[in-house]
Chain A
Amino acid sequence: MSVVDHNAIELAAPRISEADVGDYIALLKPRVMSLVIFTALVGLAIAPGHFHPVLAITSLLCISVGAGASGALNMALEGDIDALMSRTANRPIPRGRITPAEAMAFGMTLSFFSVLTLGILVNWYAGALLAFTIFFYVVIYTMGLKRRTAQNIVIGGAAGSLPPVVAWVAATGSISVEPLLLFLIIFFWTPPHFWALALFRSDDYARAGVPMLPVVAGPDATRLQILLYTIVLVAVAVAPWPLGYFDAIYGVTSLILGAGMLALAINVYVSRERSQSLRATRRLFAFSILYLFALFATLLLEVVVRAVAPWIGFGVG
């Protein structure tokens, strides 16, 4: 006679994953990744000296995989609130395609390999900075700030601002003013961008209990903060031109785009009627993406023009 009747213990059937490769790619937040790749590419392009293309591709790959890993870890920790928001309810974890534990293992593996590969193949300063970026996004922002303070995306924005700095450090092995200027531009761009999103998604955030500024301080206070941060952003984005770090093409583009961004932020500030306000915030949100992209694209264009000019006869003699 056995002590335990084996029929009394019924083990639950093990869960067999049906997750496809596409579900794991969705965990990497491909749209965020594409912006990270682009800003990092600009960080590499403006770095002085020769950087071998193979090492440049390696750096970009590691930075983008590191960013994707942060996204996967973020989703692993936020499955509960993602399920409550319409914007995120379709992510693999709320849909039940991937478990939080699987996402965590995936994110940790990619983090480990991206940092290690960047450290071994390029340099350990860049590897360490990439590790710090992942740590900041996952531990400081996702675990620490997001559910606790309305300043979550202000401080957390530092993580999204670091990729061009990591790229510069990968290329040069040191730090300088130029990548810090890129850092500041993304840092001050983040609050108007995300608060515009939070304004027209505030019901979502309120339902999930995320203390975004419109939920905690109300839409009027958020509109004012958007305007103030946009003023600082435009000033910070134009400053590298008179300070002599970036050329006139960048300066003029930055002024024109800054004027557009400021006009839309003022429009958000004055539009208080519901449908008008919705339209104004959506416009600012959409334009803010174009603003950052165009600003960085101009820097890239300057580098390309400078490289090509001698070949086509400009700037020679």
Chain B
Amino acid sequence: MDDKREQQGIVLTEAQKRSRRRRSIAIALALGVLVVLFFAVTIVKGPAVLNRPL
């Protein structure tokens, strides 16, 4: 029994799985927003996106 547990490694509880899933979804959403933001600003600025001060 102990050997079997050892082979399985760390087993997450249901609560840990749920919170990890929610955190993963939040990270995915944040990255999605970042992608949309960069896309939108590129469209808004057009060719001027390459012409920035500094």
Chain A contact residues, CB within 8 Å of chain B: 13-14, 16-21, 24, 52, 54-55, 58, 61, 113, 117, 121, 123-125, 173
The answer to the question of B1 belonging to the interface, with a C-beta cut-off of 8 Å to chain A, is no
Give, as a whole number of angstroms, the nearest-CB distance from A186 to chain B: 27
7 tightest A-B CB contacts, nearest first: A124-B54, A121-B41, A21-B26, A54-B44, A16-B16, A18-B19, A20-B19
Can you identify 21 A-B contacts, CB atoms within 8 angstroms? A16-B12, A17-B16, A17-B19, A17-B23, A18-B15, A18-B16, A18-B19, A19-B23, A20-B19, A21-B23, A52-B44, A54-B41, A55-B41, A58-B41, A113-B34, A121-B37, A121-B41, A123-B54, A124-B54, A125-B53, A173-B53
Q: Which residues of A contact B53 (CB under 8 A)?
A: 123-125, 173
CB-based nearest A residue for B54: A124
Q: How far is the CA of A20 from the CA of B22 in the complex (A)?
A: 7
Kindly identify, within residues 6 to 39 of chain B, every residue whose CB is under 8 Å from any CB belonging to chain A: 10, 12-13, 15-16, 19-20, 22-23, 25-26, 34, 37-38
Instruction: Assess A21 versus B22: contact at CB under 8 Å? Given A16-B10, A123-B53.
Output: yes
Would you call A125 and B41 a contact (CB within 8 A)? no
Q: How far is the CA of A35 from the CA of B53 in the complex (A)?
A: 29
Chain B contact residues, CB within 8 Å of chain A: 10, 12-13, 15-16, 19-20, 22-23, 25-26, 34, 37-38, 40-41, 44, 52-54
Q: How far is the CA of A125 from the CA of B26 in the complex (A)?
A: 30
CB-based nearest A residue for B52: A123
CB-based nearest B residue for A127: B54
Number of A-B contacts (CB under 8 A): 50
Instruction: Assess A19 versus B19: contact at CB under 8 Å? Given A14-B10, A54-B44, A121-B41.
Output: yes
Give, as a whole number of angstroms, the nearest-CB distance from A58 to chain B: 6
Q: Which residues of A contact B23 (CB under 8 A)?
A: 17, 19-21, 24
Q: Which residues of B contact A58 (CB under 8 A)?
A: 37, 40-41
Would you call B37 and A117 a contact (CB within 8 A)? yes
Q: Which residues of A contact B12 (CB under 8 A)?
A: 16
Q: How far is the CA of A19 from the CA of B24 in the complex (A)?
A: 12
Q: Which residues of B contact A17 (CB under 8 A)?
A: 16, 19-20, 23
Q: Which residues of B contact A14 (CB under 8 A)?
A: 10
Would you call B37 and A61 a contact (CB within 8 A)? yes
Give, as a whole number of angstroms, the nearest-CB distance from B27 to chain A: 9
Q: Which residues of B contact A117 (CB under 8 A)?
A: 34, 37-38
Q: Which residues of B contact A173 (CB under 8 A)?
A: 53
Q: How far is the CA of A54 from the CA of B49 in the complex (A)?
A: 13
Q: Which residues of B contact A55 (CB under 8 A)?
A: 41, 44
Q: Which residues of A contact B37 (CB under 8 A)?
A: 58, 61, 117, 121
Give, as a whole number of angstroms, the nearest-CB distance from B12 to chain A: 6
Would you call A124 and B52 a contact (CB within 8 A)? yes
Q: Which residues of B contact A52 (CB under 8 A)?
A: 44
Q: How far is the CA of A119 from the CA of B10 in the complex (A)?
A: 42
Q: How far is the CA of A173 from the CA of B54 in the complex (A)?
A: 11
